[in-house]
Chain A
Amino acid sequence: MSESANSGQAAAGQGRRQGEGSAFWTYLLKRLGAALPVLVGVTFICYAILSAAPGDPVRILMGQHYDEEVANELRSNMGLDKPFIVQYGMFLGRVSRGDLGRSYVKNLPVAEYLAPKFSNTIQLTLVAMFIAIVFGVSAGIISAAWNRSFWDYTLMLLAVAGISLPVFWLGMLLQLLFATHLGWMPVSDMSYSGNPEALWNEVGGNYMLWLWHMSIKFYVLPGVTLATVPMAIIARLTRSSMLEVMKLDYIRQARAKGLGYSRVVVTHALRNALIPIITVVGNNFAVLLTGAVLTETVFQWPGMGRAMVEAINQLDYPVVLGGVMIMAVVFVIVNLIVDLTYGLVDPRVRYG
């Protein structure tokens, strides 16, 4: 009797968990289903605009050895003589098999050409995102906890300034101050160009110092530059989100039962203010990852953004299309992850 009741309870519990699990998977499938048309749309818009662009890819491919007959043959080989929609269909077919095509200019498969650039941009973005989250959330908490104080006004003024500063100008100023005048940081590039072993001897075998000179210091200025805008946005949003939560009754309740102010702010208010913060972090991660063009240009960072601008200027359309495709995929995935984390942060969220 008791046994069956137990098993019944267990089954019920399992059933609930299973039900929840399948809701999660249905939600995931639904979201992926919505993402697919977005990806197709992005490539379609991009393909349509580029096919109207000036310049003949065959001419670029052949360079000085242009020959009409060979060119025509090449055109039909590449499918360039077919109608636009057929070309686009062929492109989608190739992409769905994981083939992004071949660069006209670099004489490399697009995926192979973009992979290292993508990795460089990811590294820079992660550094920037880390800086932005740590300082942005802290500034927002301080502003909300000491609302209408001197620090609140100062930090929020800085945040508006951060949103308004042109990133490339900020990068130039940081470069001038910390690299050219003070000499603390390198002006540009990604890593130490000299002999690593000589550097090792120079720093006297101190691993941290060696690592700093080898690579870390190269990330500081571009990282801070790229972090400024998301940092300011995160700070503003954390503040407004916290202020909204702090008005609620349970915060007063927590204070009333004698908990310290800092504990209430951090554990009670922050946890419940996290959802909008996560949303904006996710949105900005994608924007950062893909919008690092200007920062990369200022600091000569060999990343994706610069590669894309270069490809557009050289009419290297496979690289442009491949790059847009990769970025759109990242964008969709990051947004999906953001939506899925809501449930982790806030158990009240149900996937439906």
Chain B
Amino acid sequence: MKQFLRQIFRHGSGFVGLVLVIVAVVSGTFCGTLSPYSPTYQYRGQEKLPPGSVISGDEAKLASYEDNGQRSSGSFMWGTDSSGRDVYSRVLYGARISLLVGVISTVINVLIGLLIGTVSGYFGGWTDTLLMRLTDTFFAFPGVLLAIIILATLNNDEVKSVLGSISGSIDPGIWGLFIALGLTGWTGIARVIRGTVISLREKEFIEAARAVGCSNARIIILHIIPNCMAPLIVLATMQVAYNILSEAGLSFLGLGIQPPNASWGGMLATAKNYFAEMPWWGIFPGLALALTVLGFNLLGDGLRDILDPRLKVRT
């Protein structure tokens, strides 16, 4: 760990990526305490304020009255949107959604990719052919189209009411995003893992394990998978970036997180119509999104250089 930190520190861009990721994770985790206002509260009379607007006096009274008397004066650091919501607070809460979707759907991607990749590479033969054909099929779905179709299916009242009861304060649309992105982004991981497993399969230590009577499952779990960790970590980091971008895209199309709940893609979708008039509304969430994705991509590049230099540029 110490050695890894030293290496990533020496790897300039990787370190920048790590810092960006940490900033995003901190904002997403502590958005409740970091955000000065509620992300969904609409301050009447404070609509379309430019960044740095300070409200005081009568205006502040109005705001504090509507905010249950918690505030006597305040500023909107990044301005407000067309409904009088604080852009800064919304961007912070958007980080929570983006990271949740990015990480959880990537975990699903990794589980599916690892299962299919190891089984396919380890057993070979018709199992391999069948599973690779399945992977090709999922790969042939263009871009986010399959995710869009899955989201459309999940978007009915029955499913929503069930999901709504278990998701608490978070938009129930997040479950659809987990599933849709989790079921679609695993093909690249499966292929790389399969390749790694095929090269591992014939190694002496696997043969030794087989000779002492290890079962296939034991060999895969204890000997194969640990040796796949380097490419897996690199691919997963980059997949988080891809999933965060996809989430923003889907919410931008109105298929993911629904307004008034805060998500970067959703904010950009509404901000688009006011972009010339109030650019701050579109700039800040877009910047947050771009920097977070950049962070994961840089970190992924850095991890590749450190852990697995042979792994080529994917995507």
In the complex, which residues 243-257 of chain B have their Cβ closer than 8 Å to any Cβ of chain A? 245, 248-249, 252-253, 255
> How far, in angstroms, from A308 to B144 measured CA to CA in the complex?
11
> How far, in angstroms, from A93 to B179 measured CA to CA in the complex?
31
- Whether A53 pairs with B152 at a CB distance below 8 angstroms is yes
In the complex, which residues 102-138 of chain B have their Cβ closer than 8 Å to any Cβ of chain A? 133-134, 136-138
Least distance between A230 CB and chain B CB atoms (Å): 10
Q: Given contacts A50-B149, A52-B153, A176-B279, are A287 and B142 in contact (CB under 8 A)?
A: yes
B50 within 8 A of A: no
B267-298 interface code vs A (CB 8 A; 1 in, 0 out)? 01000100110010010001001100110011
Q: Given contacts A176-B275, A290-B142, are A297 and B133 in contact (CB under 8 A)?
A: no
- Whether B142 pairs with A38 at a CB distance below 8 angstroms is no
- Whether A38 pairs with B275 at a CB distance below 8 angstroms is no
> How far, in angstroms, from A287 to B235 measured CA to CA in the complex?
19
B29 within 8 A of A: no
- Whether A175 pairs with B145 at a CB distance below 8 angstroms is no
Question: With a CB–CB cut-off of 8 A, which chain A residues contact B241?
Answer: 164
Residues of A near any B CB (own CB < 8 A): 34, 37-39, 41-42, 45-46, 49-50, 52-55, 157, 160-161, 163-169, 172-173, 175-176, 180-181, 233, 236-237, 240, 276, 286-287, 289-291, 293-294, 297-298, 308-309, 312-313, 315, 320, 324, 327-328, 331-332
- Whether A324 pairs with B249 at a CB distance below 8 angstroms is no
Q: Can you give 23 A-B contacts (C-beta < 8 A)?
A: A34-B136, A42-B141, A45-B141, A46-B146, A49-B153, A50-B153, A53-B156, A157-B13, A163-B297, A163-B315, A164-B245, A164-B293, A168-B248, A169-B290, A172-B268, A180-B275, A240-B313, A294-B252, A298-B272, A312-B152, A328-B140, A331-B140, A331-B142
- Whether A324 pairs with B145 at a CB distance below 8 angstroms is yes
Question: With a CB–CB cut-off of 8 A, which chain B residues contact A286?
Answer: 142
B225 within 8 A of A: no
Given contacts A166-B265, A166-B293, list 16 more A-B pairs with CB under 8 A.
A37-B137, A38-B137, A41-B140, A45-B138, A45-B141, A54-B156, A165-B290, A166-B249, A166-B286, A166-B290, A169-B282, A169-B286, A240-B312, A287-B143, A293-B148, A297-B252
B297-308 interface code vs A (CB 8 A; 1 in, 0 out)? 110010000000
In the complex, which residues 161-212 of chain B have their Cβ closer than 8 Å to any Cβ of chain A? none
B155 within 8 A of A: yes
- Whether A294 pairs with B253 at a CB distance below 8 angstroms is yes
- Nearest 8 A/B pairs, CB to CB: A290-B142, A291-B143, A54-B156, A41-B137, A164-B294, A169-B286, A164-B293, A53-B153
- Whether B13 pairs with A160 at a CB distance below 8 angstroms is yes
> How far, in angstroms, from A284 to B227 measured CA to CA in the complex?
31
- Whether A297 pairs with B253 at a CB distance below 8 angstroms is yes
> How far, in angstroms, from A168 to B294 measured CA to CA in the complex?
16
> B13, B152, B265: which has the most chain A beta carbons within 10 Å?
B152
The residue of chain A having its C-beta at the shortest distance from the C-beta of B248 within the complex is A166
Residues of B near any A CB (own CB < 8 A): 13, 133-134, 136-138, 140-146, 148-150, 152-153, 155-158, 241, 245, 248-249, 252-253, 255, 265, 268, 272, 275-276, 279, 282, 286, 289-290, 293-294, 297-298, 301, 312-313, 315
How many Cβ-Cβ contacts under 8 Å join chain A to chain B?
A: 143
Question: With a CB–CB cut-off of 8 A, which chain A residues contact B156?
Answer: 53-55
The residue of chain B having its C-beta at the shortest distance from the C-beta of A163 within the complex is B297
> How far, in angstroms, from A38 to B245 measured CA to CA in the complex?
27
- Whether B289 pairs with A328 at a CB distance below 8 angstroms is no
Least distance between A154 CB and chain B CB atoms (Å): 12
Question: With a CB–CB cut-off of 8 A, which chain A residues contact B255?
Answer: 309
Q: Given contacts A41-B134, A166-B248, are A180 and B276 in contact (CB under 8 A)?
A: yes
Question: With a CB–CB cut-off of 8 A, which chain B residues contact A175?
Answer: 275
- Whether A49 pairs with B253 at a CB distance below 8 angstroms is no
Least distance between B166 CB and chain A CB atoms (Å): 20
- Whether A42 pairs with B137 at a CB distance below 8 angstroms is yes
> How far, in angstroms, from A236 to B275 measured CA to CA in the complex?
32
Question: With a CB–CB cut-off of 8 A, which chain A residues contact B140?
Answer: 38-39, 41-42, 328, 331-332
Least distance between A192 CB and chain B CB atoms (Å): 22
Question: With a CB–CB cut-off of 8 A, which chain A residues contact B138?
Answer: 45
- Whether B268 pairs with A324 at a CB distance below 8 angstroms is no
Question: Which among A39, A46, A172, A309 is the interface contact of B275 at CB below 8 angstroms?
Answer: A172
Question: With a CB–CB cut-off of 8 A, which chain A residues contact B253?
Answer: 293-294, 297, 309
Question: Which among B252, B268, B313 is the interface contact of A237 at CB below 8 angstroms?
Answer: B313
Least distance between B289 CB and chain A CB atoms (Å): 5
Question: With a CB–CB cut-off of 8 A, which chain B residues contact A233?
Answer: 313, 315
Q: Given contacts A169-B289, A172-B282, A291-B142, are A54 and B137 in contact (CB under 8 A)?
A: no
- Whether A49 pairs with B142 at a CB distance below 8 angstroms is no
Least distance between B109 CB and chain A CB atoms (Å): 17
Least distance between A48 CB and chain B CB atoms (Å): 10
- Whether B152 pairs with A293 at a CB distance below 8 angstroms is no
Least distance between A317 CB and chain B CB atoms (Å): 10
- Whether B290 pairs with A164 at a CB distance below 8 angstroms is yes
Question: With a CB–CB cut-off of 8 A, which chain B residues contact A53?
Answer: 152-153, 156
Question: With a CB–CB cut-off of 8 A, which chain B residues contact A55?
Answer: 156
Question: With a CB–CB cut-off of 8 A, which chain B residues contact A236?
Answer: 313
Question: With a CB–CB cut-off of 8 A, which chain B residues contact A276?
Answer: 312
Least distance between A63 CB and chain B CB atoms (Å): 20
Least distance between B145 CB and chain A CB atoms (Å): 6
Question: Which among A160, A165, A168, A309 is the interface contact of B148 at CB below 8 angstroms?
Answer: A309
> How far, in angstroms, from A24 to B13 measured CA to CA in the complex?
45
> How far, in angstroms, from A41 to B301 measured CA to CA in the complex?
34
Question: With a CB–CB cut-off of 8 A, which chain B residues contact A157?
Answer: 13
- Whether B313 pairs with A324 at a CB distance below 8 angstroms is no
Least distance between B191 CB and chain A CB atoms (Å): 12
Question: With a CB–CB cut-off of 8 A, which chain A residues contact B265?
Answer: 166
- Whether B272 pairs with A172 at a CB distance below 8 angstroms is yes
The residue of chain B having its C-beta at the shortest distance from the C-beta of A328 within the complex is B140
